[in-house]
Structure 1
Amino acid sequence: SPIHMKHKLKMDPEEVIQRVSEMVTYARSLCADVEFSPEDAGRSEPEFLYVVLGEAIKAGATTLNIPDTVGYTTPDEFYKLIDGIIKNTPGMHEGITVSVHCHDDLGLATANTLAGIRAGARQAEVTVNGIGERAGNTSLEEVVMTLKTRHPVFGLETGIETQQLSRISKLVSNYTGIVVQPNKAIVGSNAFAHEAGIHQDGMLKHQSTYEIMRPEDVGVNQTNLVLGKHSGRAALRNRLAEMGHSLDDVELDKAFARFKDLADRKKVITDLDLEALIADEFYKPRDVYLLNGLQVTSGTMGMPTATVRLRGPDGVIHTVATIGTGPVDATYKAIDQIVNVPCTLLEFNIHAITEGIDALGEVTVRIQSEKGSTTMDAQSEIQYIRVYGGHGADSDIIVASAKAYINALNKLIIAQTEGVEKVKNDFGVMLG
């Protein structure tokens, strides 16, 4: 865009065209599939954009990714942009894939992406839960389910197993510490809830009156009261397998121990409880520090006090007692004294997994190091402070809070002592 050329790149149009040719040519010398993305295409002058993209094709680009970097365009504008690129870019041919990459600053990312697809784009860059810089990126689940639900309109297939959408949404939320809002389309907890009486009446008469897709289409099981105190290992293994979790004998032993502990405190174990249990037990960093014990005293009759016992990386048990403004504050202060890794708590969220007073509590937190751990964005060259998310689940919300905080601290410690890449390699994804 003119704004980026003037204020960021400090280049004139001719210099930009030359640099595009040089860099795409260099990229093509390294691999056969090269994606070129002209930043801030949504605010670029179309005629100049055609020239730049044509130069990229001539230099060997195989994918042209068109970003609405600041989420500025409307669906009509974005449709015309993609349509114009396909029709007017020099050298455009069937071997070139046109891609779209939209941001959600005005809440239009999904609409713009779908407009681009209707105009002829055949690749869409999306994220689970719509997470991303600022207001986020286009939501994977929204695009996938729109293409599936409105197939007569788009006539396109994604090949994605939509029954996994709910699970992957939860997994990403647990990893990142970013909670999905209840009214989030497709994967929010209220996505298939009907409160108004007239809606409930219609649903009882026929599901299609108020639901355009079935909950099971995205992996939401609404008849999920399955296990209880007297359920055995085989029943647990079978139910977890049905939910997509294949555990070996050692993993099953751990899961069953957690299950029996929960069943002693909770009358009925639902699929949602099992998902939280599995995430808490297996989808976490290795235990640099492990919660070994927690005792909390709180109320209106005195200062909240927490006694925390952690097993350290050397196997030694450390015990500290502190006071705080509340039970969570006291617990976190005690953990801080033991771990001694200065950090700032950025976010703390807690919610009940299911209904009822005995519901499992789930806590997500986000922290950052006070020493500063930064990553440079390759395009903007802006330094970003790295944030680490943590997740914990327990029928005791203070225990869940402690687990979540320790989970995040373990990621931070691994990153500081062994490098960010080690955190990535341990999980296959970035957990911060």
Structure 2
Amino acid sequence: MEKKRIQIFDTTLRDGEQVPGCKLNTKEKVKIAKKLESLGVDVIEAGFPTSSPGDYQSVQEICKSITKAVICALSRAVEKDIEIAGVALKYANRPRIHTGIGTSNYHIRYKFNSTPEKILERAIYAVKYAKKFVEDVEFYAEDAGRTENEFLAKVCENVIKYGATVINIPDTTGYCLPEEYGNKIRFLKENVKGIDNIILSTHCHNDLGLATANSLAGVMSGAEQVECTINGIGERAGNTSLEEIVMIIKQNSHLNLFTNINTKLISSTSYLVSECTGMKVQANKAIVGINAFSHSSGIHQDGVIKKRETYESINPEDVGIDQSSIILTARSGRAALAYRYKKLGCFLNEHSLDLVYSIFLKYADEKKEITDMELKTILEKANLNKNINKVLHINTNNSSSNRRINIV
């Protein structure tokens, strides 16, 4: 079976920036946008131009700087929003307006004080008006996760009729379970006239920790695009994490899916976004957390040293990390200690390793992690320092040596 390409729509610069305290200036946004294009994302949502002069300027500058990716600008189903988005996109090689309106009963009744019929009219008009500025119009049915499927299908069918090229099905509040979200996508694929002529997109939030799972359920049920952010940043608990959905697709070939993402740039992209936004990446964050490829348990360390795949389903090199990390702690065993000394150019025989290990454990019980400098000190404590002047390369830069020193 031929593999199906899933388009990656990155909204780090729009939805991701909506995190409190996460404010990017135009220069930073352009820098991140260029990195996203190098990463291989298909669509960059550059901002919400009507929200502020700064956002308008950022969208324009990104349009001038990007040549391959589609540049998308968000708007509400409001003429002024759509017009400003269209003007902001005038320098884009491949512009897209992303317009829409809430479709759930919560939004219709409490947010708009309206009726389903009027919401449908506004949805149709927004798409028709956006088509005056660009050919590529994406429609979002906000809070689709809590929208009744029959009404959602009616909205989708009508906006397709009037020119929508992409339809976004947001689980805006992170409400859905994966099975529910997948069934919603499947219902639309089976019941909306013209659905096969447009791109159906997922946009899932992480309020219940299910954003990536819901996005995966969506693509398995027929969606062709995933909207996501670097490091999973975004409103409240965040959005689908780009690195997670991309690596799930990459690692599971039986899904018969692929993306155009250059996964070797994931780590550096994650670092750039974290640096610019000031949003630190959680240490145990999948794929990009500092502990994602680190091992401190003796059993895990021994397995990884023997064969990496015993405790890692992902090769760290695939996401731009040189190698796994063996972290020496009180839970580390002899194999890990010998491995770390070996990386530093010191090869311990069995007797020396036993002696060093007993001293190591005393240090490890008092510290969270043993450094390379402390490994040198442990050799001295064990009186294995006859060659100690030759191992001064054990230093704070953590560099490995290609000199072999046998400790007997």
Task: Name the TM tier (shorter chain).
Answer: 0.5 to 0.7
**Residue equivalent to 2:248:** 146
Q: Higher relative CO (CA 8 A, sep ≥ 6), structure 1 or 2?
A: 2
In structure 2, stretches of 5+ residues that fail to align are: 1-103, 326-369, 375-395, 397-408
**Residue equivalent to 2:170:** 67
Q: Does 1:41 align with 2:139?
A: no
Q: Distance in 1 between matches of 2:291 and 2:192?
A: 44
Distance verdict in 2 for CA 1:146–1:199, change over 3 Å = same
> Aligned runs of 1:370-409 on 2, under 5 Å?
none
Q: Distance in 1 between matches of 2:372 and 2:171?
A: 44
**Residue equivalent to 1:243:** none
**8 Å contact kept, 1:69–1:102:** yes
Q: Of residues 263, 277, 281 in structure 2, which corresponds to 1:162? A: 263
- Computed over aligned residues only, the root mean square deviation of the Cα atoms, in angstroms, reads 2.1
**Residue equivalent to 1:390:** none
**Residue equivalent to 1:89:** 192
**Residue equivalent to 1:99:** 201
Distance verdict in 2 for CA 1:355–1:54, change over 3 Å = farther
Q: Does 1:128 align with 2:230?
A: yes
Which runs of 4 or more aligned residues in structure 1 lie more than 4 Å from their structure 2 counterparts after TM superposition? 354-358
**Residue equivalent to 2:108:** 5
Q: Distance in 2 between matches of 1:113 and 1:72?
A: 13
Output one character per residue of 1:205-261: Cα deviation in whole Å (capped at 9) or x when no partner.
Answer: 21111111111110011399xxxxxxxxxxxxxxxxxxxxxxxxxxxxxxxxxxxxx
> Aligned runs of 1:252-263 on 2, under 5 Å?
none
Q: Of residues 13, 16, 32 in structure 1, which corresponds to 2:119? A: 16
Q: Residue 315 of structure 2 aligns to which amino acid in structure 1?
A: R
Q: CA deviation at 1:31?
A: 1.1
Distance verdict in 2 for CA 1:10–1:157, change over 3 Å = same
Q: Does 1:205 align with 2:298?
A: no
Q: Distance in 1 between matches of 2:123 and 2:373?
A: 61
**Residue equivalent to 1:231:** none
Q: CA deviation at 1:357?
A: 8.0
Q: Does 1:137 align with 2:218?
A: no
Q: Distance in 1 between matches of 2:208 and 2:217?
A: 15
Aligned pair count reads 229
Q: Distance in 2 between matches of 1:355 and 1:220?
A: 20
In structure 1, stretches of 5+ residues that fail to align are: 225-353, 359-394, 396-432
**Residue equivalent to 1:189:** 290
Greater mean deviation of Cα atoms: 122-131 or 15-24: 15-24
Output one character per residue of 1:44-97: Cα deviation in whole Å (capped at 9) or x when no partner.
Answer: 00001000111111111010110000000010000000000111113323x210
Q: Residue 142 of structure 2 aligns to which amino acid in structure 1?
A: E
Q: Residue 131 of structure 1 aligns to which amino acid in structure 2?
A: I
Q: Of residues 212, 232, 242 in structure 2, which corresponds to 1:110? A: 212
Distance verdict in 2 for CA 1:190–1:223, change over 3 Å = closer
Distance verdict in 2 for CA 1:16–1:221, change over 3 Å = same
Q: Does 1:51 align with 2:154?
A: yes
**Residue equivalent to 1:172:** 273
Q: Of residues 180, 188, 192 in structure 2, which corresponds to 1:77? A: 180
Q: Distance in 1 between matches of 2:171 and 2:293?
A: 31
Q: Distance in 2 between matches of 1:142 and 1:357?
A: 35
Distance verdict in 2 for CA 1:205–1:223, change over 3 Å = closer
Q: Name the TM-score, length of structure 1 as normaliser.
A: 0.51
**Residue equivalent to 1:215:** 316
Q: Distance in 2 between matches of 1:190 and 1:355?
A: 16
Distance verdict in 2 for CA 1:223–1:55, change over 3 Å = closer
Output one character per residue of 1:346-387: Cα deviation in whole Å (capped at 9) or x when no partner.
Answer: xxxxxxxx95789xxxxxxxxxxxxxxxxxxxxxxxxxxxxx
Q: Distance in 2 between matches of 1:357 and 1:140?
A: 37
Q: Residue 109 of structure 2 aligns to which amino acid in structure 1?
A: K
Output one character per residue of 1:167-199: Cα deviation in whole Å (capped at 9) or x when no partner.
Answer: 000000000000001100000010011122211
Q: Residue 147 of structure 2 aligns to which amino acid in structure 1?
A: S
> Aligned runs of 1:168-317 on 2, under 5 Å?
168-222=269-323
Quick one: percent identity of the two aligned structures? Answer: 51
Q: CA deviation at 1:8?
A: 0.3
Q: Distance in 1 between matches of 2:371 and 2:160?
A: 56
Q: Secondary structure at the match of 2:175?
A: coil
Q: CA deviation at 1:32?
A: 0.8
**8 Å contact kept, 1:79–1:119:** yes
**Residue equivalent to 1:409:** none
Distance verdict in 2 for CA 1:356–1:133, change over 3 Å = farther
Q: CA deviation at 1:103?
A: 0.3
**Residue equivalent to 1:428:** none
Q: Distance in 2 between matches of 1:64 and 1:220?
A: 36
Q: Secondary structure at the match of 1:38?
A: strand
Q: Secondary structure at the match of 2:131?
A: helix
**8 Å contact kept, 1:51–1:90:** no
Q: Secondary structure at the match of 1:145?
A: helix
**Residue equivalent to 2:98:** none
**Residue equivalent to 1:379:** none
Q: Distance in 1 between matches of 2:268 and 2:291?
A: 15
**Residue equivalent to 2:5:** none
Q: Secondary structure at the match of 1:67?
A: strand
Distance verdict in 2 for CA 1:357–1:207, change over 3 Å = closer
